């Protein structure tokens, strides 16, 4: 049997491993310009507006570039067990009996987070670079842009006059015209609730005072959303406002009806 040849796999990502303890300033202050992740057996005590105690256990301590310090366990989802919000100062030292001690203080209050570390299992730092920020898909401005391109989705024969049509109390998302020449004000929400209906009602009251918009009749309203609460639908219909549930994926051309079972 011939010898098999194995190609080497991709190289493992490099990381900077810092040996404990990390070098600090003369007063013990830590200048952490990278995100620091420490897995350690630790005890955490918070003193401030209230007191809180976490007994000795293995936890993840995160020191972020913005100065915040967060203590996480393996459970509890994303929420830390305890934390200190920025700006904060972290000082590392030792107790009288030689145990490693972190003290995190806030310059804005008398809050103190005291972390006693019994054993460090991992201590790493990482440069995360500049974060571009969260880019949400399906937000109201995306819905508005798509409906501006396809106004007939809301009602047959509807054409766009203008996006962000101005009023004295703010812009209406879309001003359209129907097949009979009537002006139609469209308010767009991701989740349609009573507040959205009230907002459109106020717009309609102002728009119907404009003789240029009411030449062929009163301005009517359309309340469009990806989901509309029953109470909002009842209120809208009572005020003569049409409700339209918008299929965001279909507007984007992602949803193919031929792929549906029903």
In a domain, 224, yes or no: yes
Is the pLDDT at 255 greater than 50, yes or no?
no
Among candidate residues 80, 102, 126, the one where a domain is terminated: 126
Is the pLDDT at 140 greater than 90, yes or no?
no
Cβ neighbours for 174, distance < 8 A, ≥ 6 positions apart = 144, 147, 148, 151, 160, 162, 163, 165, 185, 186, 188
In which domain, by residue range, is 115 found? 17-126
- pLDDT tens digits, residue range 2-17? 444 444 454 433 333 3
**Of 13-22, 26-35, 129-138, 236-245, which range is least confident?**
13-22
| CATH value at residue 193 | 3.40.1350.10
Are residues 175 and 67 part of one domain?
Answer: no
Among candidate residues 67, 94, 126, the one where a domain is terminated: 126
- pLDDT tens digits, residue range 172-182? 999 999 999 99
CB 54 within 8 A of CB 83: no
Are residues 146 and 103 part of one domain?
Answer: no
- For residue 244, count other CB atoms closer than 10 A to its CB: 16
Are residues 35 and 105 part of one domain?
Answer: yes
- pLDDT tens digits, residue range 78-130? 889 999 998 889 999 999 999 999 999 988 888 999 999 999 999 999 988 88
**What does the alpha-carbon distance between residue 100 and residue 96 come to, in Å, rounded to a whole number?**
10
- Is the full-model pTM beyond 0.75? no
In a domain, 7, yes or no: no
**What does the alpha-carbon distance between residue 159 and residue 179 come to, in Å, rounded to a whole number?**
8
**What does the alpha-carbon distance between residue 47 and residue 129 come to, in Å, rounded to a whole number?**
33
pLDDT at 57 (0 to 100): 96
Among candidate residues 126, 159, 174, the one where a domain is terminated: 126
CB 64 within 8 A of CB 83: no
Which range, 136-145, 196-205, 248-257, is most confident?
Answer: 196-205
Burial class (CB in 10 A: 0-12, 13-18, 19+), 2: exposed
pLDDT at 250 (0 to 100): 85
Angle at 69 between CA 64 and CA 70, to 5 degrees: 105
Mean pLDDT estimate for the chain: 85
Q: Which pairs from 102-105 meet CB under 8 Å and 24+ separation?
A: 102/61, 102/69, 104/69
Six token digits for residue 95: 């107790």
- For residue 88, count other CB atoms closer than 10 A to its CB: 20
- pLDDT tens digits, residue range 220-252? 999 999 999 999 999 999 999 999 999 888 888
Are residues 156 and 83 part of one domain?
Answer: no
pLDDT band for position 1 (50/70/90)? very low
**What does the alpha-carbon distance between residue 207 and residue 185 come to, in Å, rounded to a whole number?**
9
Is the pLDDT at 168 greater than 50, yes or no?
yes
CB 219 within 8 A of CB 208: yes
- Residue 162 β-bridge partners: 175
Name the residue among 127, 147, 230 with its Cα closest to residue 188.
147
pLDDT at 14 (0 to 100): 33
**Structural domains in the chain (count):** 2
pLDDT at 131 (0 to 100): 79
pLDDT at 101 (0 to 100): 96
Dihedral-angle region of residue 231 (phi above 0 means left; psi in -120 to 50 means alpha; beta otherwise): alpha
* H or E element that contains 145: helix 140-149
- pLDDT tens digits, residue range 36-72? 999 999 999 999 888 999 999 999 999 998 889 999 9
């Amino acid at each position: 049997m011939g010898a098999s040849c194995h190609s080497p796999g991709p190289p493992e990502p490099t990381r900077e491993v810092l040996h404990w303890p990390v070098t600090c300033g003369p007063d013990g202050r830590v200048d952490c310009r990278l995100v620091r992740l420490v897995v350690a057996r630790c005890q955490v005590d918070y003193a401030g507006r209230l007191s809180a105690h976490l007994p000795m256990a293995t936890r993840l301590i995160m020191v972020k570039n913005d100065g915040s310090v967060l203590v996480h366990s393996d459970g509890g989802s994303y929420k830390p067990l305890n934390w200190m919000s920025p700006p904060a100062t972290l000082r590392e030292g030792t107790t009288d009996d030689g145990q490693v001690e972190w003290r995190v203080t806030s310059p804005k209050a008398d809050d103190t987070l005291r972390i006693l570390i019994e054993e460090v299992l991992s201590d790493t730092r990482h440069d995360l670079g500049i974060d571009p920020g969260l880019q949400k898909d399906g937000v109201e401005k995306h819905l508005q842009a798509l409906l501006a391109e396809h106004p007939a989705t809301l009602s047959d024969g509807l054409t766009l006059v203008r996006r962000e049509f101005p009023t004295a109390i703010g812009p209406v998302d879309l001003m359209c015209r129907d097949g009979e020449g009537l002006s139609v004000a469209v308010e767009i929400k991701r989740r349609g609730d009573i507040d959205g209906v009230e907002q459109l009602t106020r717009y309609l009251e102002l728009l119907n005072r404009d003789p240029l918009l009411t030449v062929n009749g009163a301005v009517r309203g359309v309340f469009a959303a990806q989901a509309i609460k029953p109470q909002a639908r009842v209120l809208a219909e009572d005020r003569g406002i049409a409700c339209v549930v918008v299929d965001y994926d279909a507007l984007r051309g992602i949803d193919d009806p031929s792929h549906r079972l029903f």
